[in-house]
Amino acid sequence: MSYMDKSIEEIHEALKKGLVTSDELVKESLEKSHFVQDKCNAFVTILDDAKGTEVTDSLLSGIPYGVKDNYSTKGVLSTGSSNTLKDYVPFFSATAIDNLSKAGAVMVNKTVLDEFGMGGTGTTGHTGIVTNPWDHTRMCAGSSAGSAAAVAAGVYPYATGSDTGDSIRKPAAYCGIVGYKPTYGMISRYGLFPFASSLDHCGVLTRSVRDAAIVTDAMKGIDKNDMTSWDSKDVHLLDALDGKVSSKKLCYIKEICDIKNYPNASDELKAHLDNFMKTIDICKKLGMEVDEVSVDETLLKASPATYVVISCAEATSNMSNLTGFIFGPRASGDKWDEEMKNYRTKGFSPLIKRRFVIGSYVLQAQNKDRYFHNAQRVRRLLVDEWKKLFEKYDAVILPVGSGPAKKLEGSKDALDKNTAILEDHLQIGNFGGFPSITIPNGFIDGLPVGVNITGNCYEDEKILNIAYALEGAMDFKGQVCKEVR
C-alpha cells in the first residue's frame, strides 16, 4: 500500500496504529525519489541511507520530507543549485530544519531550485532543468521547482521552499498543490542561503491547507540568530482551521482580473480568468462578501521593475562572500583577484551574472537615488495600497499567473509586458511581508492552475482558514499527479 500520497494526519494515524513503520515510509519515499528523478530531475541529492525515526505524538514524527537545496543541512550537500557551491557540505543546519528534526521529521532528499533562488522557471539549477510532473514539456516555475514537483508526484506529503517573489506560490499553482509563505519572520531565515534579505521568506509546499498548517506550526518560532524573527508561540495555525468564513470580506483587483486589459489574450488566459470568476462565486456561496476594487494601473505596472531593482541590489550584496576562498571549489589563477574572477565568471549561470550586473549598477553612487531609492519608494506605495485594502477586507484573492505552466521550449526568464501585472502581482506579498497562500483551482486542458489568497501581516490564522474553507468547497485537495505515481 502506498502512503506517501496521503495526508500527514492519515500517515501519522497509520504509524500510530502500527499499519506501517517509519523505515517503511522512508523506503517508499526513496523509491519514489529515484523514479521521479528519472522523470522530472527534481533532486540534487537523494539520501539513500536515510533512516526512520521514533513515532511520537508529533504529527510529523517518522514521516519523510524534502528540503529545498538552499537550506543549510548539517553534513549533507547544500549547493543552492549552483556550481559555485557544488561541493559545499555545511557544519550546521538551518533553524527551520532543526525544528523539523525536533518534531521527528525525516529528510530524504534535497530538491533542485533555480540557482540561489534567482529565477522563476526551474531551468537554471546546476543539475539541469526540472520538468513538470503533469506534462514534461512544461516548467514547474521557480525557484522551488524540485520541491513542487516532488510533492505533486507523491514522493512525500510536504517539502520546504523559499519565496522571494513568488517562488513557493507559483510552482504550487503550476503543479496543482498548496504553497504557503507565512508572515515575514514567522519562520527563521537563519541557515537559508540569502537572496534578497528584505524579501526572503521560508515556507512550505504541501497537498492541503491542513498539512501546510501542520508543517508551519513545527517550523516557526523566534530565533536569536535571526533578528527579523518574531514570537509566534500564540499562533496555532492547525487549531485555527474551522472553516467558518461567512463573515469574511474578500476583494479582487479589476486591473489584474479583467480580460479586457489583455489584448490578444490566449485561450489559456481566457479560461484561467473565467475559472477564477467561478471561484469567486464559490466564495460567495460560502457566505463571504467579495468585491471588485480598483488600484492605480500605473502603480501595478511598476511592481515587476521594482522587484528586479531591489532583489538584484540585495543579491549583489548578499553574495559578495562567494569568492571561491571561503566556500566552494577554488578557481585557477596566478593571483587572488584572478582566482576570484574565474570562480565567479565560470561558476555562475548567465542569469545570475545579469542580476549581479543590474544590482551593482543600481547601487552605484550616481545611480542609487534614480533606481534603488525610487524602487524603495514604489515598494512603499504598493504596500500602503494593500494596507488600505486590508483596512476594509480580510484578504485579497487573485489568480496565479496567466494560466497553466508555460512550455519549456522557447521559454525565457523575461517579462511579458502584456501579462506582467498578472504574472508578477505575488511580489507585493513579499514587499509587505504579508502571509500568502496558493491553493489548486482546477485544470485547463489537463494542467493545474491556482488561486492565491493574501492577507495582512500576522493574520496567518485567518488567511489559512479562508483557504481551508475554499479548498473544502472544491475537489482538488490532496491531488497527486498520476503520470509519475
By annotation, the residues acting in catalysis are 68, 143, 167
* Residue-wise burial string across 328-364, b where 16 or more C-beta atoms lie within 10 A, e elsewhere: beebeeeeeeebbeebbeebbbebbeebbebbebbbe
The span from the CA of 307 to the CA of 8, in Å, is 35
Task: Name the helix (H) or strand (E) containing 122.
Answer: none
List all residues 6 or more positions away from 241 whose beta carbon is below 8 Å from its beta carbon.
Answer: 209, 210, 213, 464, 465, 468
The span from the CA of 110 to the CA of 324, in Å, is 23
The span from the CA of 10 to the CA of 221, in Å, is 26
SS3 436: strand
CA 156 vs CA 48, 149, 205, 463: distances in Å? 15, 11, 11, 25
Q: Which amino acid is at 46?
A: I
The span from the CA of 205 to the CA of 421, in Å, is 24
Cβ atoms < 10 Å from Cβ of 101? 17
The span from the CA of 434 to the CA of 42, in Å, is 28
Cβ atoms < 10 Å from Cβ of 28? 21
Tell me the residue ranges of DSSP E strands in 99-200. 106-111, 131-132, 135-139, 158-163, 178-181
DSSP 76-112: B---TT-GGGTT---SS--HHHHHHHHTT-EEEEEE-
Question: Residue 223: beta bridge partners?
Answer: 226
Q: What angle do CA 22, 24, 30 make, to 5 degrees?
A: 105
Task: Name the helix (H) or strand (E) containing 395.
Answer: strand 395-399
